[in-house]
Structure 1
Amino acid sequence: MTIRRVVGAIAVGASVAALSAPAAAAHGPITDAAAVKAQLDLITSTDRIPGALAEVRDRRGRSVTITSGTAELGTDRAMVDGDGRFRIASVTKPFTAVAVLQLVARQQVRLDAPVETYLPGVVRGTGEGSEIDGRDIKVRQLLQHTSGLPDYVTFANPAERDQPVEAAELVRIALSHKPDFDPGEGWKYSNTGYVLAGMIVERLTHKDIGTAVTDLVIRPAHLRNTYWPPAGERRIRGPHARNYTVDNADPAGPLVDVTEFEPSWAGASGAMVSTPSDLNRFWQKLLGGQLLPGWALAQMHTVVPAPGLGKGVEYGLGVIRLPLSCGGHIWVHGGDLAGGGVANISGQDDSGRAATVYITALTGGAGVDHMRRTMDVALCS
């Protein structure tokens, strides 16, 4: 659910699966598949990451999927394709934000109303966080990381993350710590804000956050392989690669399989499972105006500087405006699950091309850096 390592400023085998040659020739290549493949091979050959994948989809719906490595460490099992599922971590946040904005469009939520309006008595700090008060924090600030709320991920006990947890408990963890700044007086990434946004959706729809996002976003976008795993469902449904992380007790030793992950610890900030193909469709539906009315999408695109994410990077409501090395920008989000061994970045550029890149292990900063470089190459090559 962290993002700083994933976004920043973008300044055993490999395979390429693409459309038929006549279709590609009719409109030109979607991306330079060889250049993207070289980047993915770098990840799987030098970064101790078993598998990596990139999929690029153009505005006409043509796509190309490039993979490298294996789907399971120690085997020759081919890396999954663009329909292989993975935990999308903080790319869940755009889905949660769209659900909130759907309620704004229905006049059930006002972005500049206090959180207290929708969650009375819930946001009250304790101990070092006693000054935190939901009457001072706006809904917009939850979605834009300008609330000053401490990030519960920083303080949660990793040893407890194999058991289901309630969203309210995640919030309580955060509220016992000093706020990062007064509401609206700074910018700092906070998963806590999205857990609270999810609680608002639940309160107003009378549905759990997974069902609400499915009804408000996943089904309208026709995403057939995307789902919100319920608390306690630690396995990934359907075809997927295994996920790995470094053993902190033996960093140079064998990677640890962490494919099974308790999704309730990520909640509305990062619990979802999807595929590269579905994510690329999601961005094109969203930015094409099919999931939100134009004025609501404009609110989503109203950005503030996000100094923690790199030079020139700005944050809207659940989306990041990220400069590309070749000029122009991409509307994007990224994330990783430290306990889930996966990182990804996904979004759409100014021309309408969408791209998703993900890696199947967290082994240090180099792999994530190479992953976001792959995204840049996919859209600039």
Structure 2
Amino acid sequence: MKKISLVTRLLAAATAAVVVAGTVALPAAAAATSKPSVQEHLDRLTMADGFAGAVLQVRDARGRSRTYTSGTAARGTGRPMVGGDARMRAASMTKPVVAAAVLDQVARGKLDLDEKVETYLPGLLDGRQVTVRQLLQHTSGLPEYLDTIDWAKPGTPEEQLKPALAKKPIGEPGEKWSYSNTNYLVAGMLLGDDFRKVVESRILRPYGLKRTYWPAEGEMAIRGEHARNYGVSPADPKGGVADITEMPGHAFGAAGGLVSTPADLNAFWQRLPSSTLKTMASGTVPADAPYGHYGLGVARVATSCGGTVWMHDGGLPGVSVLSGRDRAGRAATVYVTGAADTPAKNAHLLAAFDSAFC
């Protein structure tokens, strides 16, 4: 029997986290007879649901921020939960950032959304007629790659992609929406041999996201101030909840590798050019909850107070994050440390996010 590495198990769990997070739609989660405050929502996450810590930062259209915290940054220490400038793993909130970088290349005439990927990377997809738009929209039909590789030796993106292409496609290109991290593995490859430098030079630095970074190869820790992450280790599912803060962030790549902060993610949404956000929000397709409708790296969801939010979520063992902005320009990011492993917990996390806009 082939030995499954710890990294492989962690990445498989990351995929599962996305599926779990999609079990509750935002409006249903947020709807309630009474309207708890943002702080009350966070306190429910840590006091009733068992998350170690929770933080939510909301930033209005004029750039004024307010941060709410609950719980602890490290169990057993009494240290209060970190604030909006502390770092956390962005997980799949990496995808909107990568999508913005791809659209930057489109605006510069280097890529075309409706051109085939094979035009730019001949032979990469074994002849599949997948367009750039379908990658960003999760309508390519490409199967998931995270569970096909020994991530202890992840290899190049091309080597990571190859075993996934041997699997049965989810569907024909453009046939239906189906979340697959493989789409953003390929999207990163469209940005060039070093997509990390492209994202840094075209998005992170121009947008002023000074605390956001790509982990180096082999780097396991999170730099600077951060909360500890707690969850059930995929390598020891019967061992109970443990500290799993150290993870192979570099291996998550363009699909989920960024480390960021709530403040930086809020700034990303607000500094995203209106023309770019308009393109990302165009041509949405029906998608699984919590997304509602999915565009190019962003989802459109309705709030409990009748508004619209453009957002994305992210999940890795030990951390869950939701981040987005509304039509008025208000941005909010919430994340928790712990395992969001039940529909009720996910509903409460979504309700906390909703409360920032309502």
The TM-score with structure 1 as length reference comes to 0.83
1:194 corresponds in structure 2 to 184
CA distance in 2 between counterparts of 1:245 and 1:271 reads 19
Name stretches of at least 5 consecutive residues in structure 2 with no aligned partner. 1-13, 28-34
Alpha carbons 2:134, 2:173 under 8 Å: kept: yes
Listed one character per residue, the Cα deviations across residues 222-265 of structure 1 (whole Å, up to 9, x for unaligned) are 11111111221111111000111124687686412111111233
Q: 2:214 aligns with which of 192, 205, 228?
A: 228
CA distance in 1 between counterparts of 2:99 and 2:289 reads 19
- Within a 5 Å distance, the mapping from 1:1-381 to structure 2 comes to 2=15, 3-6=18-21, 8-11=24-27, 35-124=37-126, 133-134=127-128, 136-153=129-146, 155-156=147-148, 160-203=150-193, 208-247=194-233, 254-286=240-272, 288-289=273-274, 294=275, 296-310=276-290, 313-338=292-317, 341-365=318-342, 366-380=344-358
Alpha carbons 2:89, 2:260 under 8 Å: kept: yes
Deviation of residue 196 (structure 1)? 0.3
Alpha carbons 1:164, 1:262 under 8 Å: kept: no
1:27 corresponds in structure 2 to none
Alpha carbons 2:143, 2:167 under 8 Å: kept: yes
Alpha carbons 1:245, 1:255 under 8 Å: kept: yes
Distance 1:285 1:221, change over 3 A: same
CA distance in 1 between counterparts of 2:195 and 2:191 reads 7
Counterpart AA for 1:214: E
CA distance in 2 between counterparts of 1:48 and 1:117 reads 49
Distance 1:200 1:99, change over 3 A: same
The TM-score with structure 2 as length reference comes to 0.88
Deviation of residue 51 (structure 1)? 0.6
CA distance in 1 between counterparts of 2:311 and 2:63 reads 18
CA distance in 2 between counterparts of 1:5 and 1:378 reads 22
Partner SS state of residue 56, structure 1: strand
Listed one character per residue, the Cα deviations across residues 140-184 of structure 1 (whole Å, up to 9, x for unaligned) are 10000000000113x246xx4455543223212311110011000
CA distance in 2 between counterparts of 1:362 and 1:172 reads 31
Partner SS state of residue 38, structure 2: helix
CA distance in 2 between counterparts of 1:322 and 1:123 reads 32
Deviation of residue 368 (structure 1)? 2.7
CA distance in 2 between counterparts of 1:143 and 1:249 reads 31
Between 1:250-259 and 1:359-368, the stretch displaced more is 250-259
Alpha carbons 2:138, 2:177 under 8 Å: kept: yes
Partner SS state of residue 362, structure 1: coil
Partner SS state of residue 161, structure 2: helix
CA distance in 1 between counterparts of 2:59 and 2:42 reads 17
Counterpart AA for 2:49: D
Counterpart AA for 1:62: R
Deviation of residue 351 (structure 1)? 1.6
Listed one character per residue, the Cα deviations across residues 20-61 of structure 1 (whole Å, up to 9, x for unaligned) are xxxxxxxxxxxxx97111111111122221111111000111
Distance 1:161 1:245, change over 3 A: farther
Partner SS state of residue 346, structure 1: strand
RMSD: 2.1
CA distance in 2 between counterparts of 1:250 and 1:226 reads 30
Pairs aligned (count):
334
Listed one character per residue, the Cα deviations across residues 341-368 of structure 1 (whole Å, up to 9, x for unaligned) are 2110000012211000001111512333
- Matched-pair identity in %: 47
Deviation of residue 211 (structure 1)? 1.2
CA distance in 2 between counterparts of 1:104 and 1:248 reads 39
